[in-house]
């Protein structure tokens, strides 16, 4: 399998979001994968856990009325080493319930490890902060 490199990898991640596939989204993570959000730390220790969590999150977006029209607006990758980059991904969402859309930027830690590549972590304060302003009950659905 040919490695994509950080820029193409980010575009592939954007396509997985458009495809609304939790499994495809989780396929972009290296394990353990760690998410830092508003002072909380969450992790996926393995692919099976990530598949389940990402599939559940896609379903929650639908249940909450946000929907799954989430588009990658831009990606800026800053090399950290030959095998790592910080990727600033700006997303835009178009809710199905009539709530005006909005955008946010997450930072993802890209890593190439031998013949595999993926995101090791993300910082998603903007994403969840903006989501909870509009959908305060999101995580109770």
Q: What is the mean pLDDT of each run of 10 residues along the chain (141 residues)?
A: 83 95 96 97 97 96 94 97 96 95 98 95 97 94 79
Cα within 13 Å of Cα(27), Cβ side: 13
Q: Is residue 15 part of a domain?
A: yes
Q: Is residue 1 part of a domain?
A: no
Q: Residues 100, 61, 128, 4: is their CA dihedral positive or negative?
A: negative
**Of 64, 56, 137, residue with least CA distance to 99:** 64
Q: Is residue 103 part of a domain?
A: yes
Give the structural domain span for 131.
6-140
Give me the number of domains the chain comprises: 1
Looking at residue 141, its pLDDT comes to 79
Query: 113 near 92, Cβ under 8 Å?
Result: no
Looking at residue 2, its pLDDT comes to 66
Cβ contacts of residue 41 below 8 Å, gap of 6+? 34, 35
Rounded-to-integer distance, Cα 49 and Cα 62, Å: 20
- The 10 Å Cβ neighbour count of residue 128 is 17
- Kindly provide the b/e burial profile for residues 70-79, where b requires at least 16 CB atoms within 10 angstroms of the residue's own CB: bebeebebee
CATH number of the domain that 58 lies in?
3.10.450.50
């Amino acid at each position: 399998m040919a490695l994509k490199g950080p820029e193409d990898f980010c575009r592939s991640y954007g396509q997985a979001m458009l495809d609304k596939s939790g499994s495809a989204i989780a396929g972009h993570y290296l394990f353990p994968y760690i998410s830092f959000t508003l002072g909380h730390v969450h992790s996926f220790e393995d692919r099976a856990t990530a598949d389940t969590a990402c599939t559940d999150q896609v379903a929650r977006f639908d249940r909450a009325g946000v929907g799954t029209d989430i588009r990658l607006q831009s990606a800026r990758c800053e090399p950290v080493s030959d095998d790592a980059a910080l990727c600033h991904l700006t997303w835009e969402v178009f809710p199905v319930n009539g709530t005006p859309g909005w955008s946010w930027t997450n930072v993802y830690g890209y890593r190439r490890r031998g013949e595999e590549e993926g995101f090791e972590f993300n910082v998603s304060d903007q994403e969840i902060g903006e989501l909870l302003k509009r959908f305060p009950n999101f995580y109770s659905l």
